[in-house]
Amino acid sequence: MKNILLIQTGGTIAMDIGAGQTPGLDPERWEELIYREIPELEEIASLHPEKLFFEDSSDVSPLHWDRLISRIGERYEDFDGFVILHGTDTMAYTASALSFGLRNLGKPVILTGSQVPMRNIRSDARRNLVNAIEMATLPFNEVGICFNDFLFRGNRATKMSIGDFDAFASPNFPPLAEIGLNIERNVEPPQPAGDFEAAPGFDDRVLLLKIFPGLSQRHLEALPLEEVQALVIESFGSGNFPLKEPYSLLPFLQRCLDRGILLVITSQAAYDAVDLSKYESGRRAQEMGVLGAGDMTTEATLTKIMYLLEQTGSVEATRGRFPQSLAGEVSAAGGSRPDRSGTRVKTD
Ligand code: ASP
């Protein structure tokens, strides 16, 4: 039987019945609750539960990512796989961060949580937890998010729904597995290119700017940029933004570049890839030295930049390494995306 380390970090899955807004469950009693609600877990794997922290995931930060990476590093040789119970709100950020910090992973690290607390009779916790533990016994050499009968690559997933059980989607990459009567595996597991290494460390001197029609230059001028090393701009469509006065974004982009800030463009549209060569604004940005994020999620884009800034110690080195895939988070330019119906299937 496989040995799985089950790491508790909080979220709705561990909250008490009817206490959706407050962490109603005593953090020390969650283990007892899991075994009481799902006694069959013992049949799937030999579980070793531990509580690392206990937070609503809105409070999870790079400091928590570091703790998770270090903990998995410490226990890596002792277990066949790792399951992390985590709130859904920032699960995609944590999964992305872990995918970068756990280099050359040769074992599964599976995050899961639930939309409804485990003690609620209609909770999705039971199914998600059983699935996640089973996935952690299989040879997935990567960080995944297991939710609603899908296993997604963690750095390709994004939270799409506040209320549906199908809370996550992977817009630009097929699910690693679909869990039904049988487990359909869609993607060959990546082979580690070297020895496993736990490398925590994220630089938080990054900003995310979502543009909208009417974003005023007055507000942009007032933004303090002293501490900023990189700015991610969530633009329209394939990487577009206003060019005409009085709302042109160009003066702001130039001001950032003059300060040595790395600029990266992602899209407000989840499906398909940013292509800066397609329209005038993207082309202007490209000429200025702005990077496009391809088909990366905003979560992966931000955490990748935070990771590279810390690990390389330089904006220039981050700029050089950003376009390359570190953990399967980005497709080669022109890569194909999966059929939409296969990545987010309604349950009702
Ligand atoms: N606010 C919760 C969290 O992210 C939501 C959830 O777990 O579904 O911790």
How high is the pLDDT of residue 21?
A: 52
pTM of the model: 0.94
Query: Counting every residue, how long is the chain?
Result: 348
| Residues at CB less than 6 angstroms from ligand 1 | 11-12, 56-58, 87-89, 113, 115
For the cut 80, the answer to whether the pLDDT of residue 108 exceeds it is yes
- Which residue intervals of 23-124 are DSSP H helices? 30-37, 41-44, 62-75, 91-101
Q: What is the DSSP letter of 77?
A: G
Give the integer Cα–Cα distance in Å for 19 and 276: 46
Is 271:340 a contact under the CB 8 Å cutoff? yes
For the cut 60, the answer to whether the pLDDT of residue 24 exceeds it is no
Per-residue tokens: 67: 């703790």
For the cut 90, the answer to whether the pLDDT of residue 41 exceeds it is no
DSSP assignment of 143-156: EEEEETTEEEEGGG
Determine the average pLDDT of the residues in 86-106. 97
Per-residue pLDDT band at 346 (split at 50, 70, 90): very low
Q: Tell me the CA–centroid distance for residue 22 and ligand 1, in Å.
A: 10
For the cut 50, the answer to whether the pLDDT of residue 341 exceeds it is no
For the cut 80, the answer to whether the pLDDT of residue 335 exceeds it is no
Q: Is 279 exposed, middle or buried (0-12, 13-18, 19+ CB in 10 A)?
A: middle
Give pLDDT tens digits for 143-197.
999 999 999 999 999 999 999 999 999 999 999 999 999 999 999 988 999 999 9
Of 12, 90, 94, 343, which one is the catalytic site residue?
12
Q: What atom in ligand 1 is closest to the CA of residue 11? A: 9
Q: Tell me the CA–centroid distance for residue 20 and ligand 1, in Å.
A: 8
How high is the pLDDT of residue 25?
A: 61
The residues near 201 (Cβ < 8 Å, ≥ 6 apart) are 66, 101, 307, 310, 311
9 is catalytic: no
Taking the CA of residue 97 as centre, how many other CA atoms within 13 Å lie in the half-sphere pointing to its CB?
26
Give the integer Cα–Cα distance in Å for 94 and 221: 32
How high is the pLDDT of residue 119?
A: 78
Per-residue pLDDT band at 259 (split at 50, 70, 90): very high
Per-residue tokens: 85: 């119970």
How high is the pLDDT of residue 347?
A: 32
Give the integer Cα–Cα distance in Å for 173 and 156: 7
Is 290:263 a contact under the CB 8 Å cutoff? yes
Give the integer Cα–Cα distance in Å for 329 and 333: 12
Give the integer Cα–Cα distance in Å for 295 and 126: 32
Give pLDDT tens digits for 49-87.
999 999 999 999 999 999 999 999 999 999 999 999 999
For ligand 1, atom 8, name the residue with the nearest CA: 88
Give the integer Cα–Cα distance in Å for 261 and 272: 26
Give the integer Cα–Cα distance in Å for 263 and 333: 19
Is 93:62 a contact under the CB 8 Å cutoff? no
Rg of the chain on CA atoms, in Å: 21
Q: What atom in ligand 1 is closest to the CA of residue 113? A: 7
Name the nearest CA neighbour of 269 among 242, 243, 286, 293. Answer: 293
Give pLDDT tens digits for 201-234.
999 999 999 999 999 999 999 999 999 999 999 9
Give pLDDT tens digits for 260-283.
999 999 999 999 999 999 999 999
